[in-house]
Amino acid sequence: MSATTPAETGGKPVYENDRYWTQRLEREFTLAGVGHAGVGLAFNRWAYAVRRAVLLRTLKRHGINIPGATLLELGFGTGFYLDLWTEQKVAHVTGFDITEIAVNAARERYSKSWTFNKADIGAPLPLPAELVGKYDIATAFDVLFHLVEDQNWNGALDNIARAVKPGGVALIFDKYQQQENAISHVRRRTLKTYQEALEKRGFEIVTLHPIFFLMNSPTDLSGFSKFLFKTSWSLTKLPYKLGKHVGLGEFFGTINGALLYWPERALSRIFSSGPSTKLLIARKRA
């Protein structure tokens, strides 16, 4: 059963993970389909390049080796990180996604020794028996905040804990807010909530590193910083928003993304925290 929010007032349909993502990916099986819907494909490509660069840099800094690793990926979508794992010569990937379209595409495109299955990542997953408790790495990139019910969110963390070996790591992208909030298909939980849930499952947080300052929506802010970052994000989206009405949205998105790419990477080197998405690395205690 997919995760749902409580029924909204006024007869609006409840949010269902499987239906929502199937419809979205059938419409656009690209990084725009899995990324931020309001900025177009070209800008999303630049934003995912930032994610990739920060991820690899942070893994290297903390001595986490990718080549030869056995890896569990929850919610692999269009396969952006599967491409990365292929480049980095990961030994094996077990992947689960809630959509048939993503699973079929992954089975066609990636190593036949890797396994991909359709599943709700918030429910107990059918991990290969020989790999239970033996994965070097488990990932959940920009997916756990879509599990709006606590039961499903906890279930996904249980799957990670069951998969990862002692000394292995979990890699999770989320915003880790000071105050929780929720809208529609997104529920942003606090860093404290994550920390307590991970510690309960035998993990300790190694690092929490910012990814975005300018290229993704800022949240959980107050005062002047809220005005500053909200204004910045509105201006970031504006070129694509205006350009798409005259057929130039992707052109402006390309230019905008290229202009922001290097400043974004520089900011993530300078600052230890940020207003938007962050990478959390947690290691499972031996």
By the 10 Å C-beta count (0-12 exposed, 13-18 middle, 19+ buried), 11 is classed as exposed
**Confidence (pLDDT) at 222:** 86
Measured between alpha carbons, how far is 87 from 161 in angstroms, rounded to an integer?
26
> What is residue 52's DSSP assignment?
H
pLDDT band at 5 (very low <50, low <70, confident <90, very high): very low
| Of residues 109 and 18, more confidently modeled | 109
**Confidence (pLDDT) at 9:** 38
Name every residue whose Cβ is closer than 8 Å to that of residue 91 and which is 6 or more positions away in sequence.
68, 69, 70
Please state, for a pLDDT cut of 70, what percent of the chain lies above it.
95
> What residues form DSSP beta bridges with 140?
172
Evaluate if residue 219 carries a pLDDT over 80.
Answer: yes
Measured between alpha carbons, how far is 207 from 174 in angstroms, rounded to an integer?
13
**Confidence (pLDDT) at 6:** 38
**Confidence (pLDDT) at 13:** 52
Q: What are phi and psi of 37, to 5 degrees?
A: -70, -20
Amino acid at position 91, single letter:
A
Span 74-107, pLDDT tens digits: 999 999 999 999 999 999 999 999 999 999 999 9
**Confidence (pLDDT) at 4:** 39
Measured between alpha carbons, how far is 198 from 213 in angstroms, rounded to an integer?
26
> What residues form DSSP beta bridges with 96?
74, 117
pLDDT band at 10 (very low <50, low <70, confident <90, very high): very low
Evaluate if residue 283 carries a pLDDT over 50.
Answer: yes
CATH topology of domain 9-284: Rossmann fold (3.40.50)
Mean per-residue pLDDT for 270-275?
95
Contact between 80 and 139 (Cβ < 8 Å): no
Span 132-151, pLDDT tens digits: 999 999 999 999 999 999 99
- Average pLDDT value for the chain: 93
Contact between 121 and 75 (Cβ < 8 Å): yes
Mean per-residue pLDDT for 45-56?
98
Measured between alpha carbons, how far is 152 from 124 in angstroms, rounded to an integer?
10
| Helix/strand/coil for 1 | coil
Q: Whole-prediction pTM value?
A: 0.93
